[in-house]
Amino acid sequence: MPAGGGDSPIRGSWDGVGLRVNRPATEGVVASARTVIPVGQGRFRVSALVYFPRGGMPKTAGGTAETPGGTPENGLAVALRADGRVIARVVSPSSTSSLVSPDVSISGVIEHAGGPLLLEAQVEPAGIRSTVDGGTIWVSQLIVERF
Protein backbone atom coordinates (compact mmCIF):
# COMPACT_ATOMS: atom_id res chain seq x y z
CA MET A 1 0.00 0.00 0.00
CA PRO A 2 1.37 3.46 -0.83
CA ALA A 3 2.45 5.72 2.02
CA GLY A 4 -0.46 8.10 1.34
CA GLY A 5 -3.05 5.29 1.33
CA GLY A 6 -5.17 4.01 -1.53
CA ASP A 7 -4.64 1.16 -3.95
CA SER A 8 -1.21 -0.37 -4.36
CA PRO A 9 0.64 0.72 -7.52
CA ILE A 10 2.21 -2.75 -7.85
CA ARG A 11 0.89 -5.37 -10.29
CA GLY A 12 2.42 -8.85 -10.48
CA SER A 13 3.64 -10.73 -13.53
CA TRP A 14 5.22 -14.13 -14.02
CA ASP A 15 8.76 -12.75 -14.25
CA GLY A 16 8.55 -9.20 -13.01
CA VAL A 17 6.37 -6.46 -11.68
CA GLY A 18 4.12 -3.75 -13.09
CA LEU A 19 4.38 -0.32 -11.51
CA ARG A 20 1.15 1.64 -11.94
CA VAL A 21 1.43 5.41 -11.93
CA ASN A 22 -2.01 6.40 -10.70
CA ARG A 23 -1.60 9.98 -9.53
CA PRO A 24 -0.09 13.18 -10.95
CA ALA A 25 3.41 13.86 -9.67
CA THR A 26 6.10 16.36 -10.53
CA GLU A 27 8.90 15.10 -8.29
CA GLY A 28 9.99 12.15 -6.20
CA VAL A 29 9.25 8.46 -6.58
CA VAL A 30 5.69 7.79 -7.78
CA ALA A 31 5.83 3.97 -7.71
CA SER A 32 8.41 1.40 -6.65
CA ALA A 33 8.97 -2.28 -5.93
CA ARG A 34 11.78 -3.97 -4.05
CA THR A 35 13.19 -7.39 -3.38
CA VAL A 36 16.03 -8.76 -1.27
CA ILE A 37 18.39 -11.42 -2.59
CA PRO A 38 20.97 -13.12 -0.33
CA VAL A 39 24.36 -13.10 -2.09
CA GLY A 40 27.99 -13.32 -1.10
CA GLN A 41 30.60 -10.60 -1.28
CA GLY A 42 31.66 -9.46 -4.73
CA ARG A 43 31.00 -7.43 -7.83
CA PHE A 44 27.60 -7.94 -9.45
CA ARG A 45 25.89 -6.78 -12.61
CA VAL A 46 22.17 -6.18 -12.12
CA SER A 47 20.03 -5.94 -15.25
CA ALA A 48 16.37 -5.88 -16.18
CA LEU A 49 14.03 -5.12 -19.05
CA VAL A 50 11.76 -2.08 -18.71
CA TYR A 51 8.60 -1.83 -20.81
CA PHE A 52 7.15 1.64 -21.40
CA PRO A 53 3.69 1.28 -23.02
CA ARG A 54 3.09 2.82 -26.46
CA GLY A 55 0.23 5.27 -26.79
CA GLY A 56 -0.29 5.49 -23.03
CA MET A 57 2.73 7.55 -22.12
CA PRO A 58 2.46 9.90 -19.18
CA LYS A 59 1.99 13.59 -19.92
CA THR A 60 4.71 16.20 -19.60
CA ALA A 61 4.29 19.82 -18.61
CA GLY A 62 7.08 22.06 -19.83
CA GLY A 63 10.03 19.95 -20.84
CA THR A 64 13.18 18.16 -19.82
CA ALA A 65 16.84 18.79 -20.48
CA GLU A 66 16.53 16.44 -23.47
CA THR A 67 13.33 18.00 -24.84
CA PRO A 68 12.96 21.67 -23.89
CA GLY A 69 9.50 21.96 -25.49
CA GLY A 70 8.05 19.11 -23.50
CA THR A 71 6.78 15.88 -25.03
CA PRO A 72 4.80 12.96 -23.60
CA GLU A 73 7.60 10.56 -24.48
CA ASN A 74 10.03 11.95 -21.91
CA GLY A 75 7.63 12.20 -18.97
CA LEU A 76 9.09 9.46 -16.79
CA ALA A 77 12.14 7.43 -15.92
CA VAL A 78 12.91 4.17 -14.13
CA ALA A 79 15.80 4.06 -11.68
CA LEU A 80 17.38 0.76 -10.65
CA ARG A 81 18.78 0.89 -7.11
CA ALA A 82 21.03 -1.59 -5.32
CA ASP A 83 21.86 -1.27 -1.62
CA GLY A 84 20.27 2.19 -1.60
CA ARG A 85 22.28 3.63 -4.53
CA VAL A 86 21.07 4.33 -8.06
CA ILE A 87 23.12 2.10 -10.36
CA ALA A 88 21.18 2.79 -13.58
CA ARG A 89 18.39 5.03 -14.89
CA VAL A 90 16.46 5.00 -18.17
CA VAL A 91 14.11 7.59 -19.63
CA SER A 92 11.05 6.50 -21.59
CA PRO A 93 11.78 6.34 -25.33
CA SER A 94 9.86 8.27 -27.97
CA SER A 95 6.69 6.43 -28.95
CA THR A 96 6.51 8.41 -32.19
CA SER A 97 9.40 6.54 -33.77
CA SER A 98 8.63 3.20 -35.39
CA LEU A 99 12.29 2.26 -34.86
CA VAL A 100 12.08 2.51 -31.08
CA SER A 101 10.93 -0.51 -29.08
CA PRO A 102 9.03 0.20 -25.87
CA ASP A 103 11.34 -2.38 -24.23
CA VAL A 104 14.50 -0.83 -22.80
CA SER A 105 17.39 -2.70 -21.17
CA ILE A 106 18.74 -1.30 -17.93
CA SER A 107 21.86 -2.47 -16.10
CA GLY A 108 24.40 -1.36 -13.56
CA VAL A 109 27.24 -2.67 -11.43
CA ILE A 110 27.47 -2.88 -7.64
CA GLU A 111 30.28 -3.84 -5.26
CA HIS A 112 28.44 -5.75 -2.52
CA ALA A 113 29.83 -6.53 0.92
CA GLY A 114 27.87 -9.77 1.21
CA GLY A 115 24.54 -10.69 2.79
CA PRO A 116 21.13 -9.39 1.72
CA LEU A 117 21.26 -7.35 -1.52
CA LEU A 118 18.37 -4.87 -1.62
CA LEU A 119 17.17 -4.22 -5.20
CA GLU A 120 14.57 -1.61 -6.06
CA ALA A 121 12.94 -0.31 -9.25
CA GLN A 122 11.54 3.22 -8.96
CA VAL A 123 9.36 5.22 -11.36
CA GLU A 124 9.93 8.97 -11.22
CA PRO A 125 9.44 12.08 -13.37
CA ALA A 126 12.26 12.26 -15.94
CA GLY A 127 12.96 15.99 -15.81
CA ILE A 128 12.66 18.99 -13.58
CA ARG A 129 9.34 20.15 -15.07
CA SER A 130 7.93 16.74 -16.04
CA THR A 131 4.53 15.64 -14.78
CA VAL A 132 3.81 11.92 -14.62
CA ASP A 133 0.12 10.99 -14.78
CA GLY A 134 -1.03 7.45 -15.49
CA GLY A 135 0.25 4.27 -17.12
CA THR A 136 1.86 0.98 -16.05
CA ILE A 137 5.58 0.43 -16.45
CA TRP A 138 6.65 -3.24 -16.43
CA VAL A 139 10.03 -4.31 -15.07
CA SER A 140 10.94 -7.92 -15.85
CA GLN A 141 13.79 -10.34 -16.55
CA LEU A 142 15.74 -9.27 -13.47
CA ILE A 143 19.23 -10.81 -13.56
CA VAL A 144 21.90 -10.61 -10.88
CA GLU A 145 25.25 -12.04 -11.98
CA ARG A 146 28.66 -12.11 -10.35
CA PHE A 147 31.62 -11.16 -12.53
Phi and psi at residue 74, in whole multiples of 5°?
-110, 30
Residue-wise pLDDT tens for the chain (147 aa)?
Answer: 455 555 666 565 567 888 887 766 667 888 899 999 999 999 999 999 998 876 444 444 443 344 443 344 447 889 999 999 999 999 887 555 554 556 889 999 999 999 999 999 998 887 766 665 567 888 999 999 998
Instruction: Please say whether the beta carbons of 58 and 75 come within 8 A.
Output: yes
Three-class DSSP labels, the chain: CCCCCCCCCEEEECCEEEEECCCCECCCCCEEEEEEEEECCEEEEEEEEEECCCCCCCCCCCCCCCCCCCCHHHCEEEEEEECCEEEEEEECCCCCCCCCCCEEEEEEEEEECCEEEEEEEEEEECCCCCCECCCEEEEEEEEEEEC
Fold entry, domain 10-146: Jelly Rolls (2.60.120)
